Structure 1
Amino acid sequence: MTKARIFKPSKNAMQSGQATSQDWHLTFEPVSARKIDPLMGHMSSADTRQQINLSFPTKEAAIAYAERENIDYLVMKPKERKRNVKAYSDNFSTTRVEGNWTH
């Protein structure tokens, strides 16, 4: 039976927005190892399921799809981001901690 993992991708490090990290994704685990093609030298595999990446609006929708299609799945919980909310004026506060440098 095929195995898949259901996860919520992390935010792109090059962008500040989180538009692409809202959906849940279902990807299949590789069945066979990749091999080097002797003619071109590229990595290749006979397993075409590695190319499939399904996206779902909710985790429950992804789980329902996997159960309906008899796919063994593993749900990976996303790491919650800790937001450090502060105002620009906090940079000029009189109670601000300066840092480790000496004057």
Structure 2
Amino acid sequence: MAAARIYKPARTAMQQGLAAARDWVLEFEPQAARTIEPLMGWTSSADTRGQVRLTFATKEEAIAFATRHGIAFRLEEPQEAKVRPKSYAENFKFGRPDRWTH
């Protein structure tokens, strides 16, 4: 049986919020190597499971789906984002480590 990977995608650098990073994703690992088609040079694969990407609201739903269907999976826990409190006033405080450059 094909192995799958369950993870929570990281947000992109262009996003401010967590809207696209809320769901958990189940993706199948590739079983066959990709081949280059000799005439046109396109990259193709006979593995159709590589096109499947399932999203779930919670980690438990994704795990339950995989176990219910007999899919071996690898769970990747997300790294917690470190929020450093900062304010605009810190740019002007006395004794700041860097010089004011404006």
1:88 matched to 2:88? The reply is yes
* Partner of residue 44, structure 2: 44
Counterparts of 1:98 and 1:34, CA distance in 2: 51
**More moved, 48-57 vs 14-23:** 14-23
- Contact kept, 8 Å, 1:12 with 1:18, in 2: the verdict is no
* Contact 1:34 1:44 (C-alpha < 8 Å) held by counterparts: yes
Q: Which amino acid counterpart does residue 42 of structure 1 have in structure 2?
A: W
C-alpha distance in 2 between matches for 1:14 and 1:27: 23
TM norm structure 2: 0.90
Alpha-carbon distance, 1:18 to partner: 2.0
List gaps (5 residues or longer) in structure 1: none
Residue 30 of structure 1 corresponds to which residue in structure 2? 30
Q: Partner letter of residue 66 of structure 1?
A: A
CA distance in 2, matches of 1:83, 1:59: 23
TM-score (norm 1): 0.89
Runs of 4+ in 1 over 4 A off after TM superposition: none
Aligned to 1:7: 7
Equivalent residues, number: 99
Cα drift, residue 90 of structure 1 = 1.5
The separation in 1 between residues aligned to 2:24 and 2:15, in whole angstroms, is 19
2:16 matched residue in structure 1: 16
Deviation at 1:77, TM superposition (A): 1.1
Superimposed CA distance per residue, residues 24-78 of structure 1 (whole angstroms, 9 cap, x where no aligned partner): 0000001100000122111100000000010001100000000000000000011
* 2:9 aligned partner, one-letter code: P
Q: Shift of the alpha carbon at 1:17?
A: 2.4
RMSD (Å) for aligned C-alpha atoms: 1.2
Residue 36 of structure 1 contacts residue 43 of structure 1 at CA under 8 Å; is this kept in 2?
A: yes
